[in-house]
Amino acid sequence: MSHRFPRSHGRFQYRVNVMIWRALIVSILLIHLPCAAKSQVKSAHRPVVDLPRGAVSRIPAPDGRWTLIFECPNDCSERKLWIEDNPSHKRRLVKEYERSLSISWAPDSRLFFVNDASGSTETLCYIYDAATLKETDLALLIAAGDPESTEFLNVGHSYLNAKRWINSHELFVVLSGHTDEPPLRGFTLRYRVNLNGHVQKLSQHSEEEAQ
């Protein structure tokens, strides 16, 4: 003989089940939300790799599509940066270098920057499109957005460094150095640079250096 529960009991049990499932879903979301937020923050701040650090260094893009390969054989008598398309294994030469450099991929893997310490008195920064290797001179971008910066970009010791990606199209940049003619004057300027051409000066500090 079968036993049947009243319909009211069935509706009550259904509501209980719905409430339990909703509580479980909310709990799961609350657990994973902080992790997702941390992941997004981490992805926006790609590490900056200083080179050279061996005969061959490989810097993969975040999405795995590209790999930058820095070759520095024979005690770094040659310094070449290549980009490899991982699916096809095709390589293209980005540039040859004289001294040290630092590199970082944009979070979306479309761009990367290279800080080129081309001499003891200057560091220049370039942004490259991974697919086309189109080069953007960061100094020209900053000069166009902040004409006053040319006073510091053209002095004897001028070091322009992209410090990190803020997101896939914006960079935190520091321009520092000092004049060569007395009285020696040191300077530090900080920028937020959007690759669409918008340049925001965050701070500027200048002072005479001790003789």
DSSP 93: E
Q: What pLDDT digit, counting tens, does each position of 109-140 carry?
A: 999 999 999 989 999 999 999 999 999 999 99
Which two three-digit tokens encode residue 104? 């970082």
Q: For residue 36, what pLDDT band results from cuts at 50, 70 and 90?
A: very low
Give the residues across from 208 on adjacent strands: 185
Domain 45-208 has CATH 2.60.40: no
Task: Provide the total of helices (H) and of strands (E) in the chain, helices listed first.
Answer: 4, 13
DSSP for 114-154?
EEEEEETTEEEEEEEETTT--EEEHHHHHHHH-GGGHHHHT
Give the model's pLDDT for residue 113.
98
Q: Following CA atoms 45, 161, 147, 199 in sequence, which dihedral angle do they give, to the nearest 10 degrees? A: 0
Instruction: List the domain boundaries for the chain.
Output: 1-44, 45-208
Q: What pLDDT digit, counting tens, does each position of 153-181 carry?
A: 989 899 999 999 999 999 999 999 998 88
Give the model's pLDDT for residue 119.
87
177 φ/ψ angles, rounded to the nearest 5 degrees = 155, -160
Tell me the residue type at 101: L
Taking the C-alpha atoms of residue 97 and residue 118, their distance in angstroms, rounded to an integer, is 7
pTM, full prediction: 0.77
Lowest mean pLDDT among 82-86, 100-104, 165-169, 176-180: 176-180
Which distant-in-sequence residues (6+ apart) come within 8 Å of 31 by Cβ? none
CB atoms within 10 A of CB 85: 14
Give the residues across from 135 on adjacent strands: 128
Closest CA to 152 of 174, 170, 137, 136: 174
End-to-end CA distance of the chain: 105
Is residue 159 within 8 Å of 175, Cβ to Cβ? yes
What is the mean predicted confidence (pLDDT) over 203-207? 92
Give the residues across from 196 on adjacent strands: none
Taking the C-alpha atoms of residue 59 and residue 49, their distance in angstroms, rounded to an integer, is 8
Closest CA to 130 of 173, 85, 195: 85
